[in-house]
């Protein structure tokens, strides 16, 4: 009896609050089958489940919240370097989202944005929606996903300007204030008395790199050092009272920090302090400083960003702590709140300076 069919309606009922019976009528199935498809989808055929979910979507039955979400979907960058996901910011976000889900009886499911079954997974596993870990400035898959109103999505990371303009009213995002973090790092070095400050930036494809460069510009502009708004490769910029920004490029990997630091040390007047846009590049920079015969912080002060490996270095690395785990928790909570009818939100967490052993006043 549970699988028996009834006559299908050609038009959706006009009732604004459809019943399970009306969903069954629209799908051409029995009430028992529809109930089973919604509560235990693994017990019905894929074709049957598809019919039910089509009826649910057409009639707006899902909006009644009759079936509370049981999981949260998360999409991480598909082309993120292999071997780095669970040791960095992305891993922290995943861990935080999983912590929230565990405390609230939900399952965190990793979803592939390339999967043709993504929409079906959201329905089948009764997901509150999707968390999209935003890394890159240009990301067509992200933009296509966010343009689909039926897929409830929270962007984890700061949205590029083009995305904010296109989806301003509907875009929900949570992020860490990378601009303020970088500004605080440079200001800290200036407060110690440093005037020639090196900056090792990361991969320009990353949103976080753009944001941190904005913070660096802002800190130096307070001392008359004007830097262009466009991407900077290897350049020096001079301001008032001896303040000087020595900019180098990297790619967020340790080797690039090593190479960039060697280039900084090769300048006519090398920096007395260096801010690296992440701890891995700071680690590479530390190796270059030591191999040149100099010491940290006696000869060069060094500060990183992320607080991933900082306390395991010698000397222990001063860094900007990025609360990635807290961000993942907040993102999952915001998504579940949205599923319960909350409004669109935009929230930022603040990084904080962790002072350890790698920074000091300039020696001369």
Tell me whether residue 357 is in a domain: no
Look at residue 45 in the predicted model and tell me its pLDDT.
Answer: 83
Look up the pTM and report it: 0.79
Would you tell me how many other CB atoms lie within 10 Å of the CB of residue 251? 19
Look at residue 164 in the predicted model and tell me its pLDDT.
Answer: 82
Look at residue 98 in the predicted model and tell me its pLDDT.
Answer: 96
**Whole-angstrom distance, CA of residue 108 vs CA of residue 120:** 16
* Residues 203 and 101 grouped into a single domain: no
Tell me whether residue 257 is in a domain: yes
Look at residue 88 in the predicted model and tell me its pLDDT.
Answer: 76
Task: Please report which confidence band the pLDDT of residue 201 belongs to, taking 50, 70 and 90 as the band edges.
Answer: very high
> Which pLDDT tens digit goes with each residue over 84-113?
544 478 889 999 999 999 999 999 988 877
**For the chain, what is the mean pLDDT?**
86
Look at residue 86 in the predicted model and tell me its pLDDT.
Answer: 41
Tell me whether residue 212 is in a domain: yes
> Which pLDDT tens digit goes with each residue over 134-183?
988 988 888 888 887 778 899 999 998 888 887 777 789 999 999 999 99
- Residue with the bigger pLDDT between 82 and 212: it is 212
Widest distance between CA atoms in the chain: 88
* Residues 76 and 193 grouped into a single domain: no
Look at residue 329 in the predicted model and tell me its pLDDT.
Answer: 97
**Whole-angstrom distance, CA of residue 289 vs CA of residue 132:** 38
Look at residue 121 in the predicted model and tell me its pLDDT.
Answer: 67
Tell me whether residue 291 is in a domain: yes
* Residues 184 and 301 grouped into a single domain: yes
* Residues 210 and 115 grouped into a single domain: no
Q: Which residues contact 178 (CB under 8 A, 6 or more apart)?
A: 158, 207, 208, 211, 212, 215, 351
Look at residue 40 in the predicted model and tell me its pLDDT.
Answer: 60
* Residues 313 and 199 grouped into a single domain: yes
* Residues 156 and 213 grouped into a single domain: no
Please report, for the domain that includes residue 243, its CATH number.
3.40.50.2300
Number of domains in the chain: 3
Per the CB < 8 A criterion, the answer to whether 259 and 245 are in contact is: no
Q: Domain span at residue 97?
A: 71-177+325-351
Tell me whether residue 15 is in a domain: yes
For 271-308, letters b (16+ CB in 10 Å) and e give bbbbbbbbbbbbbbbbbbbeeeeeebbebbbbbbbbbb
Q: Which residues contact 326 (CB under 8 A, 6 or more apart)?
A: 96, 349
Look at residue 85 in the predicted model and tell me its pLDDT.
Answer: 42
- Residue with the bigger pLDDT between 257 and 343: it is 257
* Residues 47 and 138 grouped into a single domain: no
Average pLDDT of the residues in 204-216: 95
């Amino acid at each position: 009896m549970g699988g028996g069919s009834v006559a299908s309606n050609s038009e959706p009922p006009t009732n604004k609050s459809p019943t399970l019976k009306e969903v069954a009528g629209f799908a051409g199935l029995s009430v028992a089958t529809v109930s089973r498809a919604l509560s235990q989808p693994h017990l019905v055929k894929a074709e049957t489940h598809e019919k039910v979910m089509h009826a649910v979507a057409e009639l707006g039955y899902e909006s009644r919240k009759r079936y509370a979400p049981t999981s949260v979907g998360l999409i991480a960058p598909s082309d993120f370097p292999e071997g780095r996901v669970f040791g960095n910011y992305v891993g922290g976000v995943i861990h935080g989202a999983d912590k929230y889900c565990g405390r609230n009886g939900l399952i965190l499911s990793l979803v592939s944005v390339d999967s043709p079954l993504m929409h079906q997974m959201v329905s089948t596993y009764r997901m509150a929606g999707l968390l999209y870990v935003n890394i890159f400035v240009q990301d067509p898959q992200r933009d296509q996903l966010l343009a689909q109103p039926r897929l409830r999505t929270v962007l984890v990371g700061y949205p590029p300007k083009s995305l904010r303009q296109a989806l301003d009213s509907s875009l929900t995002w949570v992020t860490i204030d990378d601009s303020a973090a970088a500004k605080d790092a440079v200001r800290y070095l200036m407060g110690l008395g440093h005037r020639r400050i090196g900056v090792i930036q990361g991969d320009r494809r990353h949103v976080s790199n753009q944001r941190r460069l904005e913070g660096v510009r802002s800190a130096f502009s307070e001392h008359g050092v004007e830097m262009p708004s466009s991407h900077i490769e290897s350049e020096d910029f001079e301001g008032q009272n001896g303040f000087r920004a020595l900019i180098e490029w990297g790619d967020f990997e340790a080797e690039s920090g090593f190479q960039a630091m060697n280039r900084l040390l090769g300048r006519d007047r090398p920096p007395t302090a260096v801010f690296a846009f992440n701890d891995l590049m700071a680690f590479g920079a530390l190796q270059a400083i030591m191999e040149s015969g100099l010491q940290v912080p006696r000869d060069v002060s060094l500060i990183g960003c992320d607080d991933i490996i900082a306390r395991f270095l010698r000397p222990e690395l001063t860094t900007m702590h990025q609360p990635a785990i807290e961000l993942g928790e907040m993102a999952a909570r915001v998504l579940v709140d949205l599923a319960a009818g909350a409004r669109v939100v935009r929230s930022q967490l603040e990084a904080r300076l962790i002072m350890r052993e790698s920074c000091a006043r300039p020696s001369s």
